[in-house]
Structure 1
Amino acid sequence: MGQIRTNSSTAEDLLIDVDRSAPEPLHRQIAASIRGSIRAGRLRLGTSLPPTRTIAADLGVSRGVVVEAYQQLVAEGYLTSRAGGYTQVAVEPVPAPPGRRGGDRPAARIDFGYGRTDVSSFPRAAWLRSVRTVLTTTPNERFAYLDGRGVPELHAALTDYLNRVRGTSARPENVVICSGYGQGVSLLLQVLAARGARRLAVEDPSPDDDARLVAAAAGLDVIGVPVGPDGILVEELEHTDADAVVLTPSHQWPTGGVLSATARSRVIGWAQRRRAVVIEDDYDAEYRYDRSPVGAMQGLAPDTVVYCGTASKTLAPGLRLGWLLAPPHLVDEITAAKVLADRGSPVIDQLTFADFLTRGEFDRHLRRMRPVYRRRRDALLAALRTRLPELEPVGVAAGQHVVAWLPHDLDEAAVVAAAARHGLVVQGVSRYRLNLAGPGGLIFGYATLTERAITDGVEALADAVAEVRNPQRSTQSSPETAPDPTP
């Protein structure tokens, strides 16, 4: 079995959660959590599990309950145990059946796709507790048609959380609940266009979906403003005649820069002079590893900044939960656009999230996931240092992805294509630029990959880079059999 690996020391590290109000016995809940972690690849073959006394103490249950769970998993073949020794994982995760893209081309072996979160770690038991609470305690009238802004319980829970954690200056009456960031920014840009806005400034590079697509559909001209190491170049923004600007000031996408206090003040001053709107996309500010928290811009100028938040990067994108903190003069028009779009977001989901926030489960989930993502980020950085030291990682202190700049002798498109031939999906930075000028770079999303997959992926990428530098070492795979590099 090789060297013993121990990557978990507590029940929290194992992502075990128990619900004492559930009809299912506790030992079965514990077994199901561990079984799920093995199937998802979080616990690999040979990993040593914590002693039963440790798990029992962490969960506040008797040792016999944990012993019964371990014994059940041993009987099923998931674990192996011997007297006086470790209890270890005895199986590899079952690989997902290979998918197909582009006809008969094989799916990628390792996908460094960005903008994802590890949905296998979704806190199902805690979420289910909140669902039960909602269904048993919510007054009947809450299930009727409501104000398009959403339910008051979620307005209050979000403002409490965001003011405490993100430094916003939010009031419940200024919150509009929407179906993720995509719908939120769409509603906002529709309102601004109806008010006479003609030009939208965006960071360059920036995502090519959501804001840019919606702006084009609404007839707005999109202006790219270059970014530097610390985010958008404010002096370039000040030379534009934009009516609104979309920013990711706490963690610029994709470079990871953090807009300084001076730069934030200048952006707000520019917006106030032009009567423009600052749209703050706070997409993954909760995940930080090597830096202090950076507050939201909205707290500096709540009448100028529209704050956009979402549960997609923290819980799961499938929840379709997002929110806007809008200046008072925009709330009614955004609400009217929301009602016209879909009559409002699902009430049960909103109430469940409100209860989840109020109970402190959201904070607990983030505390559990930060060290998981940090270990994956550390594995990526270590592998790059060892196998591709000529790449320059940036924006590593927070988030769920890393950008690595390529040396001048490497062509970005050639590296991306070679990586695809080696079974890797990795995106280049250039496709997200409005202007073509700029250094080549690669975007590594690591949130959904195991540490082993990350290391293997960088090994394969190093082979791909060597192939680009020395085409004679190229493999015999042809473009017709290579995986599609576009996710």
Structure 2
Amino acid sequence: MTSAPTGPDGRPGSAGRTADGTAAWELLLPAVSAPARSRGRALQAALRDAVRSGRLTPGTRLPSSRDLGADLGVSRGLVTEAYEQLTAEGYLRSGRGAGTWVGDAVRAARPRARDLAPRPRGDRADFVPGTPDLSLFPRSAWAATQRGVLTDLPHEGLGYPDPRGLPRLRTALAELLTRRRGVVADPERVVVVSGVAQATALLADVLHARGMRATGVEDPGSPQHDALYAAAGVGTVPLPLDDEGLAIGPLRASGVRAVVTTPAHQFPTGIAYSARRRAELLDWARSVDGLVLEDDYDGDFRYDRAPVGALQGLDPERVAYTGSVSKSLAPGLRLGWLLVPEWLADDVVERKRTTDLGHPALDQALFARFVERGDYDRQLRLCQRAYRERRDALVAALAEHFPGSRVFGIAAGLHAIATLPEQYGPEERFLARVSEAGVAVRPLAEYGHDAGGGEAGSDGAARKEVRLVLGYAHLAPGRIRAGVEMMAKAV
């Protein structure tokens, strides 16, 4: 190997060396092991990466093309071409007779302060709600459907889709939702979206554009509603619940003209809105020329009787209805639907167009076939059986290990509310102890809008009763029993 270039004083210095003192050619050696045809591109990529990462710092002088070629065992021309390409891109700089240097236009990438993707928690038992059992995803049926779609889809089907969604999928969804959820579903008013989150964001943007600056939300309720409306410049007004659903008196007094609800299975309390409350809610919407936004996040999963039909079916011009496959298939698919009143349809579709030019066409065609062939109905039946068994396991385990505990809400969905007797409180101490034991749980108070979630006493004293929101769908029955036993031992 030739020696590295020297500094002005004639001694080995920073010239030709990385930030940690490594000779420049050493970090380029892996590139020259690439096949001959791609060796030049590999060398250029390695140099770019070294400059971007900061291993080659601005002002570092690189070896001559002759010396570096000899060190790496490649032709001088290959190195010269790499130097010229990266000089043109701004990574390197050179002067006639002055050699080649690392330029100062590039800054080393900063390490991220936090990973945006959720990390595995590492808890011994995890009862945090919101996650389905991803192992139930029908991989074989999905793959077979995908192969069929790729074979049959015409070339023009890969162009920009209708922002509302593929007509085939909107027709399939209209039939499915009419049959299973009792909605009034005109395919022309179905919009295919990237999950309930995008549906909510689209509605928030449209309402804001129409001058609306506040919307009501259930309290307790889903935290994501507040964030999505805030991003569109729309504030949220927390509205209390009673045993029948959203309390109508506070709703009327609030002055809002739109409200977000989960009437089939309220999140997180687990109640189903009564028939009387559903009628009162629609009467309110008509009286204020308003809108009810129905988040039907788990409406298909009712275990003690047929699911209550969607609120939208009672008045499709006063209810915007949204749902997704996040609980039935997988949240990572980012696939959902929005049924909008006629007076909002054009604005929502235009907003969808400007947001993303439409949902991916292949995903839509795949899901349309999946629904048409009955695979989605089979998946729903599979999930219903599994989740009913897991809810039963949770109720039995709580009765065994926490005598006197009570489970509230209807037998539905992917979570349950459990109230444990005072002997296991106060709640703060209970949560600290189970957390130390490696059990992840969420208290009901965490889903309230005030500091104490509306659950502490008026004097600020700690509540003795323990109220938990327990997710069970992602846990096998054995893990549920073991997790409840771990909680009991911890307290």
Given the two structures, how large is their TM-score scaled by the length of structure 1?
0.72
Q: Alpha-carbon deviations, 1:193-237, whole Å to 9, x = none?
A: 11011211111101112x210222223221111112332222322
Q: Deviations over 1:319-348 (max 9, x none)?
A: 100110001111111112112221111111
SS at match of 1:239: helix
Who is 1:320 aligned against?
334
Aligned residues of 1:198 and 1:243 also touching (Cα < 8 A): no
Give, in whole Å, the separation in 1 of the partners of 2:404 and 2:222.
Answer: 26
The equivalent residue for 2:222 is: 207
* Partners of 2:235 and 2:313 in 1: CA distance: 28
Query: 2: distance between equivalents of 1:384 and 1:262?
Result: 33
Q: Alignment RMSD, CA only? A: 1.8
Q: Deviations over 1:274-328 (max 9, x none)?
A: 1111000000011111123200010111011000110000110011001100011
Instruction: State whether residues 258 and 290 of structure 2, in contact with CA within 8 Å, keep that contact through their aligned partners in structure 1.
Output: yes
User: Within 5 A, what are the aligned runs for 1:89-104?
Assistant: none
User: Would you say 1:231 and 2:248 are equivalent positions?
Assistant: no
Question: Which of residues 437, 441, 447 is equivalent to 2:454?
Answer: 437
Counterpart in 1 of 2:372? 358
SS at match of 2:323: strand
In 1, the alpha carbon distance for the partners of 2:413 and 2:243 equals: 16
Give the deviation of 1:140 after TM superposition: 2.0
Higher relative contact order structure (alpha carbons within 8 Å, sequence separation ≥ 6): 1
Residue 427 of structure 1 deviates from its aligned partner by 0.6
Q: Which amino acid aligns with 2:374?
A: G
SS at match of 1:206: coil
CA deviation vs aligned residue, 1:76-97 (integer Å, no higher than 9, x gap) = xxxxxxxxxxxxxxxxxxxxxx
Could you tell me which amino acid in structure 1 is paired with residue 347 of structure 2?
E
1:455 to 481, 484, 490: 481
In the TM superposition, residue 453 of structure 1 has moved relative to its aligned partner by 0.9
Residue 412 of structure 1 contacts residue 442 of structure 1 at CA under 8 Å; is this kept in 2? no
Match of 2:172 in 1: 157
1 CA distance for matches of 2:252 and 2:386? Answer: 40
Report whether the alignment pairs 1:197 with 2:197: no
1:250 to 260, 264, 286: 264
Q: Does 1:131 align with 2:146?
A: yes
Instruction: Describe the superposition over 1:342-400 as per-residue Cα deviations: whole angstroms up to 9, x where unpaired.
Output: 11111111111111111111111111221111111111100101111232211241101
Gaps of 5+ in 1: 1-99, 467-487
- Which position in structure 2 is the counterpart of 1:146? 161
Query: In 1, distance between residues paired with 2:410 and 2:432?
Result: 25
Select which of 86, 110, 128 maps to 2:125. 110
Corresponding residue number in structure 2 for 1:294: 308
Secondary structure at the counterpart of residue 218 of structure 2: strand
Distance 1:228 1:243 in 2: 20
Q: Is the 8 A contact 2:417 2:468 kept in 1?
A: yes
User: 1:49-104: per-residue Cα shift (whole Å, max 9, x none)?
Assistant: xxxxxxxxxxxxxxxxxxxxxxxxxxxxxxxxxxxxxxxxxxxxxxxxxxx99xxx
Instruction: Identify which of 180, 189, 196 aligns with 1:181.
Output: 196
Q: Which amino acid aligns with 2:305?
A: R
Change (3 A) 1:148 1:106: closer
Cα distance in 2, alignment partners of residues 455 and 371 from structure 1: 18
> How far apart are 1:185 and its partner, in Å?
0.3
Residues in 1 aligned to 2:428 and 2:167: alpha-carbon distance in whole angstroms: 49
Secondary structure of 1:132's partner?
helix
Between 1:382-391 and 1:168-177, the stretch displaced more is 382-391
**Residues 1:106 and 1:449: Cα distance change in structure 2 (over 3 Å):** closer
Q: Is the 8 A contact 2:406 2:420 kept in 1?
A: yes
Aligned counterpart, 2:387: 373
Q: Map Cα deviations across residues 89-141 of structure 1 (whole Å, 9 max, x no partner).
A: xxxxxxxxxxx99xxx9821111121111111111111122212211222222
Distance 2:327 2:359 in 1: 19
CA contact 2:312–2:320 (8 Å) conserved in 1? yes
Q: What is the one-letter code of the residue matched to 2:227?
A: L
Separation in structure 1 between the aligned mates of residue 420 and residue 255 of structure 2, nearest angstrom: 34
| Percent of aligned pairs sharing the same letter | 44
Distance 2:292 2:235 in 1: 16
Aligned partners of 2:231 and 2:363: how far apart in 1? Answer: 30
The alpha-carbon deviation at position 433 of structure 1 amounts to 0.4
In the alignment, is the contact (CA less than 8 A) between 1:406 and 1:412 conserved in 2? no
> Paired residues, what number?
362
Cα distance in 1 for partners of 2:403, 2:321 equals 38
Instruction: Using the TM superposition, give the Cα deviation of residue 260 of structure 1 relative to its aligned residue in structure 2, in angstroms.
Output: 1.3
Structure 2 counterpart of 1:392, from 406, 412, 421: 406
After TM superposition, the structure 1 = structure 2 runs for residues 16-55 of structure 1, keeping only pairs within 5 Å, are none
In structure 1, the partner of 2:280 is 266
Structure 1 stretches of at least 4 aligned residues deviating more than 3 Å after TM superposition:
406-409
For 2:242, the aligned partner's letter is: G
Q: Does the 8 Å contact 2:161/2:360 carry over to 1?
A: no
Contact 2:213 2:234 in 1 (8 A): yes
Tell me how far apart the structure 1 counterparts of residues 295 and 359 of structure 2 sit (CA, whole Å): 20
- Are residue 220 (structure 1) and residue 234 (structure 2) matched? yes
Amino acid at match of 1:360: G
Quick check: 1:414 aligned with 2:440?
Answer: no
Q: Is the 8 A contact 2:322 2:339 kept in 1?
A: yes
- Inter-partner Cα distance in structure 2 for 1:424 and 1:134: 43
Alignment partner of 2:295 out of 275, 281, 295: 281
Deviation string for 1:417-448 (max 9, x for gaps)? Answer: 21110110001111110133236511111111
Q: Deviations over 1:238-272 (max 9, x none)?
A: 22211210000000001111111111111011011
TM-score, normalising length: structure 2: 0.71
Q: Give the letter aligned to residue 269 of structure 1.
A: D
Query: Is the deviation greater in 344-353 or in 138-147?
Result: 138-147
- Distance across 2 between alignment mates of 1:462 and 1:230: 32
